[in-house]
Amino acid sequence: MKMLTCIGLRYTELLAYCLELS
């Protein structure tokens, strides 16, 4: 479960990064 949360956080960070670039 903790691993899933970790992946989720990384995905959200990546998404925010992509939005900043566009």
* 3-state SS string for the chain: CHHHHHHHHHHHHHHHHHHHHC
How high is the pLDDT of residue 9? 85
pTM score: 0.40
pLDDT tens, position by position, for the chain (22 residues)?
688 887 888 889 888 888 888 8
Q: What is the C-alpha R_g of the chain?
A: 10
- CA separation for the pair 7, 2 (Å, rounded): 9
How high is the pLDDT of residue 21? 86
How high is the pLDDT of residue 19? 87
How high is the pLDDT of residue 5? 82
Report the residue count for the chain. 22
